[in-house]
Copies of this chain bind each other. A is one copy, B any other.
Amino acid sequence: MPTVSDVARAAGVSRQTVSNVLNSPEIVREETRTRVAAAIAELGYRPHASARRLRTRRASTIAVRLDPFAGGISGAVLDRFLHALTERAEARGLSVMLYTAKDAADEIRQFQRLVDGAAVDAFVLASTYDGDPRTEWLIEHGQPFVTFGRPWGIADLDDPLHFWVDVDGRAGVAEAVRRLRGSGARTIGFLGWPAGSGTGDERRAGWAAGVAEGDREGGVVTEGPRAEPARLSAESEESVAAARAATRRLLAQASDLDALVAVSDTLALGALIETGGSLPVVGFDNTPVAEAIGFSSIDQRVDEVAAAALELLELVGRSEAGDPRSHRLITPEVIMRPPGPALGLVG
Binding site for B on A (CB under 8 A): 1, 46-51, 53-54, 57, 59, 61, 66-69, 71-73, 75-76, 79-80, 82-84, 86-87, 90, 95-100, 112-113, 116-119, 239-240, 244, 266, 269, 273-274, 288-289, 291-294, 343-345
Contact = CB atoms under 8 A, between A and B. Distances in A.
A66 B46 contact: no
Contact of A289 (B73, B100, B113, B118): B73
Given A87-B100, A96-B98, A266-B292, A66 B82 contact: yes
A69 B73 contact: no
A56 to B, nearest CB: 9
A97 B95 CA distance: 7
A274 to B, nearest CB: 7
Contact of A69 (B80, B266, B273, B343): B80
A274 B76 contact: no
A8 to B, nearest CB: 18
B66 A59 contact: no
Nearest to A291: B71
B86 A49 contact: no
Contacts of A84: 69
Contact of A292 (B1, B79, B289): B289
Nearest to A343: B273
Given A79-B76, A269-B292, A288-B72, A48 B95 contact: no
Nearest to A101: B90
Contacts of A119: 49-50, 95
B100 A97 contact: no
